Amino acid sequence: MPTTKVTGHFTFADWKEGPVTPEGTFPRLAHATVTNAFSGGIEAEATTCDYAIAYLTETTGVFAGTELVTGRVDGRAGTFVLEERGRFESDGTVHCAFEVVGGSGTEGLRGLRGTGGFTYRHGETEVPYAFEYDVE
> What pLDDT score does 34 carry?
96
128 contacts 9 by C-beta, under 8 angstroms: yes
Q: Which residue has the higher pLDDT, 136 or 8?
A: 8
> What pLDDT score does 89 carry?
97
Type of residue numbered 72: R
pTM (2 d.p.): 0.94
pLDDT in tens, 65-107: 999 999 999 999 999 999 999 999 999 999 999 999 999 999 9
In the three-class reduction of DSSP (H, G, I as helix; E, B as strand; rest coil), residue 74 is classed as coil
Beta bridge partners of residue 35, listed in sequence order: 13
pLDDT in tens, 3-40: 999 999 999 989 999 999 999 999 999 999 999 999 99
Binning pLDDT at 50, 70 and 90, where does residue 136 land? Answer: confident
